[in-house]
Structure 1
């Protein structure tokens, strides 16, 4: 029990530190720094860091060093880098370099934390979700904290809070249970780290339709990740609850809160509807979300019901598309190939898809910027709404997988 509690603290701190500054980053860059023109580029760096971190973990961390020691050093580096970024207010180039340095440190800690947690429990399938859920709780608490401090999202405060937590987590990681390298004697296969040794030979047309659809859906996701908070701040999204004023960053955590309900429903829907129609439902929800955003304001004021609807359906948007995609891959490939197939999906979506999607989102955002405090948000949100509808039609017309998922999945549904 003590070990699980310590691992839960690790997960809480890791995702608190990530969410407390990443969600309001677009608002800070736009309103605090007037760095509007590099918001998309900054979020695209996450994709580059994801690709490089896969190489680092697979080629070095998994082969030569205990996971908790590597994580400790990386968290210390991530905290130091972010503390430096929080002081950069003039040079966009320096800001980008600082963010890339932070992302490079942090991205590798995600698989390392999973390795540490799985190594520290006896039954990973049963015990890991209860540990991982504390990451989601940490993300929610971080958002609530920033949303309760007036104007904090538009300052460097979230970065500074995050940097301190990263450094504390780095020191804490040195005390975690030992997780020795898993692949010390395994032959090195760089292509295999990304699934490039098995997936390109896959001849199922439906599979490649699926891959194209998931790549395309990274564009809508990139729009939301980079610009949703900035949009909410610009439209003065805020509510008063029990005497406390909650600003946009806090309100956005409602998406994670309601996500739990959608996660519970997901396995049932996969059995009843099949993967195809669950994907269609999730992709269509992205379109509905952006239409709600596009008509969710009048002048500079938010139309609360529409914006809340777009936030609350986050679980349908994210889990029915991206978690379902992991489940589909898990069932599509043999047990000996699943980890490499999942790595290929991550390369296409979280890696290349994030880079391409974030930069396209940035170009659309800039094309519809009237002034630093005024944007044509309807035109901005209609772009990812249209892309989502196109992806939905692609799945409806070309995705032919007729199998039902009839057994529990080992995929982590608490992401």
Structure 2
């Protein structure tokens, strides 16, 4: 891979996740503080991510795999996304904010699969090379969080109460416009050619051919586990920033980037761990880390036990990389050449779609259920909130441990 292509793919990943990190981390705090949204209203807004992810496989399978270059679709989606993000910046009520965030997430979520597709088509050894490209996405997320807390100080108690967090949407809009324009310079990623005598079926046109992967018992177990583990993941996205803000931790958004710094380190270690211990053990370590981090959140505080919160945040590298990134590699190894984009879209459906849709609503329900505690004792409220996803993650760990039959996923990096 040439230096020019490596730079373009890396910068693409940087902007892709800078955009997401620029506004999504502080969204829960913004909605509750500035738009006075209730727990179920907040869950409704966060669920737009899942609705976008559910639609994503159809967009990818129907368009990227069939008719148009993936990099061009990526550019168009991000340019339109910039306009929608600017409208979110201008919204003053939850009722006017929701339609724009819904439209935005329907367009943004397919881009997660598109950047993977553009990358994988350029890589000769994905197990070795993809981590080095994907790491720039994590760096982008980190820079966004550090900018919010330490450069602009938008999440400081006084600033966020005064509405400064709305500026995160303007920052996201500018970055989205830049990536939209830059996408047209990316390596050409045309659709895979189909022989003229092969008439595509309806299922292939809308990208459902990737569902054939579910006939593989192990992949089916992985797919179901991906849905289930994303229920506790939704709790983190929806509640982590408000949690740290409400218990009095200073610069919560900046401190949450410790999780992404951890992600960088474990992303670099992933190929070694993957090759030495195999796919199953890698996934299991990631699942167990989710349960542990929520226990740390439940019993930590912003005072003498703040180290527990920092450790819980730092576990994000294991939680995310060992499950989601290794899962992307596993999915790519299972998919045929024709269906790589659709297969990545399918796993996006399982993780960011169905699993988190359930998770956001469960988190919203729990927030409503224990709302009385929040008025009386914030610490007790958050303890109850975090115990539930910890239990769910541990149950998924047991299911995968028992049901998934260990198999060798070829790791070309070992041979080099």
TM-score range, shorter chain: 0.7 to 0.9
CA separation in 1, counterparts of 2:59 and 2:291? 36
Match of 1:361 among 325, 339, 363: 363
Match of 2:46 among 43, 49, 68: 43
Q: Equivalent residues in 2 for 1:96-175 (5 A)?
A: 96-117=98-119, 121=122, 123=124, 125=126, 129-148=131-150, 149-152=152-155, 154=160, 155-174=165-184
Number of equivalenced pairs: 394
Matched, 1:199 2:213: yes
- Which residue does 2:188 correspond to in 1? 179
Preserved contact between residue 255 and residue 315 of structure 1 (Cα < 8 Å): yes
Q: Equivalent residues in 2 for 1:12-411 (5 A)?
A: 12-37=14-39, 38-90=41-93, 92-117=94-119, 121=122, 123=124, 125=126, 129-148=131-150, 149-152=152-155, 154=160, 155-174=165-184, 176-177=185-186, 179=188, 181-183=190-192, 185=194, 188-189=200-201, 191-192=203-204, 193-195=207-209, 197-202=211-216, 204=217, 207-238=219-250, 247-297=251-301, 303-330=305-332, 341-370=343-372, 375=378, 376-396=381-401, 398-405=402-409, 407-408=411-412
- Return 318-327 or 40-49, whichever deviates more: 318-327
Preserved contact between residue 210 and residue 399 of structure 1 (Cα < 8 Å): no
Compared CA separation, residues 318 and 2, structure 1 to 2 (3 A): closer
| More helix per residue | 2
CA separation in 2, counterparts of 1:218 and 1:355? 9
Compared CA separation, residues 84 and 130, structure 1 to 2 (3 A): same
Once the two structures are superposed, residues 32-83 of structure 1 have per-residue CA deviations (whole angstroms, 9 ceiling, x without a partner) of: 2111332222222112112223222321344333434332221121111011
Q: CA shift at 1:296, angstroms?
A: 1.2
Once the two structures are superposed, residues 227-276 of structure 1 have per-residue CA deviations (whole angstroms, 9 ceiling, x without a partner) of: 111111112223xxxxxxxx111111111112233234334434444443
Preserved contact between residue 284 and residue 400 of structure 2 (Cα < 8 Å): yes
Q: CA shift at 1:167, angstroms?
A: 1.8
| More strand per residue | 1
Preserved contact between residue 294 and residue 377 of structure 1 (Cα < 8 Å): yes
Preserved contact between residue 53 and residue 110 of structure 2 (Cα < 8 Å): yes
Preserved contact between residue 64 and residue 341 of structure 2 (Cα < 8 Å): no
Task: Point out where structure 2 has 5 or more consecutive residues left out of the alignment.
Answer: none
CA separation in 2, counterparts of 1:76 and 1:405? 38
CA separation in 1, counterparts of 2:353 and 2:62? 18
Once the two structures are superposed, residues 319-355 of structure 1 have per-residue CA deviations (whole angstroms, 9 ceiling, x without a partner) of: 2222333444455677777665554433222221121
Q: Provide the TM-score with structure 2 as the length reference.
A: 0.83
Compared CA separation, residues 341 and 11, structure 1 to 2 (3 A): closer
Preserved contact between residue 131 and residue 267 of structure 2 (Cα < 8 Å): no
Compared CA separation, residues 172 and 284, structure 1 to 2 (3 A): closer
